[in-house]
Amino acid sequence: MSESAPARESTTRAALIDAATRLMLEDGYAAVTTRKVAARADVNQALVYYHFGTMDELFLAVFRRGAEASLKRLEDAARSDDPLRTLWQVSSEPQGSALTIEFIALANHRQAIRTELADYTRRFRRKQREIIEQVSDAQDPGTPTPAAATVVIAALARILSMDGMLGITDGHDEVLALIEDRLTRWPPHEAPSPALQAAPEESAPLARRRCEQ
Residue 169 to residue 26: CA distance in whole angstroms: 20
**How much is the CA Rg of the chain, to the nearest whole Å?**
24
Mind listing the pLDDT tens digit for each residue in 173-193? 999 999 999 888 775 444 444
Mind listing the pLDDT tens digit for each residue in 115-143? 999 999 999 999 999 999 888 765 566 67
Residue 148 to residue 16: CA distance in whole angstroms: 38
